[in-house]
Amino acid sequence: MTDFVVYDVFTDSAFGGNPLAVIPDARGLEENSLQKVAREFNFSESTFVFPPADPAHDARVRIFTPTREIPFAGHPTVGTACALSDLGRVGADMVLELGVGPIPVSVANGRARFVTEVPLETWAGPSVEIAAAAAGLDADAIRIDRHAPVIAGVGIPFALAELTGMDALEAATGVTDAFRAFEPMWPVDGHFDLLIYVREGDAIRARMFAPLDGIPEDPATGGAAAALAAFLGRLDGRSARFDVRQGVEMGRPSRIEAKVTVENGRPVSVAVAGGAVKVMEGRLTL
């Protein structure tokens, strides 16, 4: 039998943030069972921890959504680091091997912080009309004076669209058929995932829809927050620290701290931090 733990991530309280299943020692599982286990948990992501390829690192972490393996995500990185720390498997500072390469993480007082230097990549986004349709909104709910919808990622891509205000954000709902219609035009590996947001200075309220990944709505998306921070850092031409609130409309409020460092107009690193709380533990009877 194989042990597992479940953490709520990007929150300091149980039943907030984003649930994550962590299998701290996945060596006993068959390769073809990993995706099935992730689907059985049916969280946004589940992680499977293996010995590192490089003995100088602390662990190799594989991340699965209900439908596929992905190379990087924020809440699995934070939650897995907190779980390994709670188990006494790592020190306060560690290096986790992810699909995008080694990621340094630090843990203290139930919170984890990771830094990624994966370069920001951008692609032409869906049109205003497609982004609005995917969010169940009229086209005039999409704000375009600062930027048009864009696809951006620091390891995993998201479509990013700024909205005109909180009324639009609260009214949004993911429309799966609209996601499917744009899927053939998605320019990179993976599925069409959409982060919509409202910005007031460095305070951001966000929602993320990924129905083609089996995630109708995500309560906390660290990878999307990292992509948004990097993109806004490049857009503004300055380093910044963003306070991202997500999951409010789902009744699972989350808080993601994202800091982008910009040099010569280019984002060179993004740090993402948040809390994690253990809410369950048990065993897989496989």
CB 48 within 8 A of CB 26: yes
The two structure tokens encoding residue 76: 């699995």
| Given the residues 30, 40, 45, 183, the one annotated as active site | 45
Alpha carbons 31 and 112: distance in angstroms, whole number: 28
Which DSSP symbol is given to 163? B
42 conformational bin, left if phi > 0, alpha if psi -120 to 50, beta if neither: left
- Nearest Cα residue to 251 out of 210, 281, 217: 217
Backbone angles phi, psi at 161, to 5 degrees: -140, 125
DSSP state of 32: G
- Specify whether 45 is catalytic: yes
Select from 248, 276, 244 the least CA-distant residue to 260. 244
DSSP letters spanning 161-196: EEBS-HHHHHH----HHHHHHHGGG--SSS---EEE
Catalytic residues: 45
